[in-house]
């Protein structure tokens, strides 16, 4: 067998990873390295920054300069890296709890500043690592260990938050659509500004088991059957949208990124000494 | 005809490859490792490799003549 070209981006001695059998995080990680390979980013000039959670373990398996930071604080660390050394490609891996709950403010202000980062949020709709507590993206009525009779609070749509907060590239795909996800991540890397990509992944252990959604394969079949490409979603009448969700690139816009704005400010103030 | 490479140390027996194989080529054994039990039925679509979250299964399509 010819070794697959993406394997060189993994830390071989760290595999197999700790994610549960059937977990979709491995697929999202695969999509990231596929995108990095396609864009031809150098391993020495790419930095992977992650927060805390199942998703954020990914930085340990990837052979780049990696940083595993404090809970919810991946975006501030990444902002620092990008400001200190603008030639680096900075990719942030975060989870739904890490990004929208613990790091919620960092997330919206990262979008607002339009720092040139590529943020990939692995959304498994639950806190997997700590035992299945409800997260801000847990859909209404779903069972979690903190909501044994079902959640009573509406979930966040992280893509909507990113769009409203000022991100310049916003997209969503799923663990089933690996190639599509890789393509969107690649577009996010190309975008100069804050790129947000939501990777919908399955958590069969904490979320699937509690809600009787079956194993990893069954949850991926659900993604295959219920994820609708954005162009088709827009034509779908409201009653047919029930239970389905759109995937694809939601937004792409031009705006000055933080590094440029900051350099201008430095010049206006008389230059750096 | 396809050649399977299964890295057993990585396989966790989640069965995603078994679920998505259109020809039921694969089976997970009692030790939670996947095996290609009906190799001759494989059409080389590569779904198992693409959708394996553990980077454990690789399938290479080989030319029938070259394999002889």
**CATH number of the domain that B47 lies in?**
3.30.70.20
Taking phi over 0 as left and psi of -120 to 50 as alpha, with beta for the rest, A53 belongs to: left
Interchain pair A16, B54: CB under 8 A: yes
B15 pLDDT exceeds 80?
A: yes
Nearest-CB residue to A22 (from B16, B56, B60):
B16
Report the pLDDT value the prediction gives residue A137, as an integer from 0 to 100. Answer: 94
For residue A68, give the nearest of A87, A94, A89 by alpha carbon: A94
Interchain pair A176, B51: CB under 8 A: yes
How many structural domains is chain B composed of?
Answer: 1
Nearest CA in chain A to B56: A16
B61 pLDDT exceeds 90?
A: no
B67 pLDDT exceeds 60?
A: no
Report the pLDDT value the prediction gives residue A49, as an integer from 0 to 100. Answer: 96
For residue A121, give the nearest of A36, A224, A25 by alpha carbon: A25
Interchain pair A22, B55: CB under 8 A: no
- B24 and chain A in contact, CB less than 8 A: no
Nearest CA in chain B to A6: B55
Q: How close does chain A come to B34, measured CA to CA in Å?
A: 12
Interchain pair A27, B5: CB under 8 A: no
List the domain boundaries for chain A: 22-268
Report the pLDDT value the prediction gives residue A6, as an integer from 0 to 100. Answer: 87
Domain over A22-268 is classified CATH 3.40.50.970: yes
B2 pLDDT exceeds 80?
A: yes
Residues 6+ apart with CB under 8 A from A232: none
B-chain residues near A217 (CB < 8 A): 14-16, 18-20
Phi, psi of B28 (to 5 degrees): -95, 130
What pairing do the DSSP bridges indicate for beta strands B34-36 and B26-28? antiparallel
DSSP summary character for residue A269: T
Interchain pair B50, A215: CB under 8 A: no
Report the pLDDT value the prediction gives residue A4, as an integer from 0 to 100. Answer: 86
A-chain residues near B51 (CB < 8 A): 27, 176, 178, 220
Interchain pair B51, A218: CB under 8 A: no
Report the 10 Å Cβ neighbour count for B19: 19
Interchain pair A21, B19: CB under 8 A: no
Interchain pair B15, A22: CB under 8 A: yes
Residue pLDDT tens, chain A, 273 long: 778 888 899 999 998 999 999 999 999 999 999 999 999 999 999 999 999 999 999 999 999 999 999 999 999 999 999 999 999 999 999 999 999 999 999 999 999 999 999 999 999 999 999 999 999 999 999 999 999 999 999 999 999 999 999 999 999 999 999 999 999 999 999 999 999 999 999 999 999 999 999 999 999 999 999 999 999 999 999 998 998 999 999 999 999 999 999 999 999 998 876
Q: How close does chain A come to B30, measured CA to CA in Å?
A: 15
Q: Is the CB of residue A46 less than 8 Å from the CB of residue A89?
A: yes
Report the pLDDT value the prediction gives residue B1, as an integer from 0 to 100. Answer: 75
B29 pLDDT exceeds 80?
A: yes
The domain of B34 spans 2-67
- A17 and chain B in contact, CB less than 8 A: yes
3-state percent helix, strand, coil for chain A, nearest multiple of 5: 45, 20, 35
**Average pLDDT in the B8-12 region?**
93
Interchain pair B15, A16: CB under 8 A: no
């Amino acid at each position: 067998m010819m070794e697959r070209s993406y394997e060189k981006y993994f830390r071989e001695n760290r595999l197999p990873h700790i994610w549960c059998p059937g977990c979709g995080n491995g697929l999202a990680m695969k999509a990231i390295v596929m995108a990095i390979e396609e864009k031809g980013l150098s391993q020495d000039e790419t930095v992977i920054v992650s927060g805390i959670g199942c998703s954020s373990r990914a930085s340990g398996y990837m052979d780049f300069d990696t940083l595993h930071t404090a809970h919810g604080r991946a975006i501030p660390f990444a902002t620092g890296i990008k400001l200190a050394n603008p030639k680096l490609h900075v990719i942030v891996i975060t989870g739904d709890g890490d990004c929208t709950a613990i790091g919620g403010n960092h997330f919206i202000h990262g979008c607002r500043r339009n720092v040139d980062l590529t943020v990939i949020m692995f959304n498994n709709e639950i806190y997997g690592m700590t035992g299945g507590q409800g997260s801000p993206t847990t859909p209404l009525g779903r069972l979690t260990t903190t909501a044994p009779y079902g959640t009573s609070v509406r979930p966040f749509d992280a893509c909507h938050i990113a769009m409203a907060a000022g991100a310049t590239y916003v997209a969503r795909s799923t663990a089933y659509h690996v190639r599509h996800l890789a393509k969107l991540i690649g577009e996010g890397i190309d975008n100069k500004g804050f790129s947000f990509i939501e990777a919908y992944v399955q958590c069969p252990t904490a979320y699937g088991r509690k809600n009787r959604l079956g194993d990893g394969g069954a949850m991926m079949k659900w993604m295959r059957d219920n994820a609708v490409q954005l162009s088709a979603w827009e034509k779908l009448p409201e009653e047919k949208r029930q239970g389905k969700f759109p995937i694809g690139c939601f937004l792409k816009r031009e705006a000055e990124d933080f590094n440029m704005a900051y350099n201008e400010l430095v010049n206006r103030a008389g230059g750096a000494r | 005809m396809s050649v399977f490479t299964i890295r057993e140390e990585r396989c966790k027996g989640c069965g995603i490859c078994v679920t998505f194989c259109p020809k039921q080529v694969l089976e997970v054994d009692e030790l939670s490792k996947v095996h290609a039990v009906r190799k001759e039925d494989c059409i080389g679509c590569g779904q198992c490799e693409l959708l394996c979250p553990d980077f454990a299964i690789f399938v290479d399509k080989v030319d029938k003549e070259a394999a002889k």
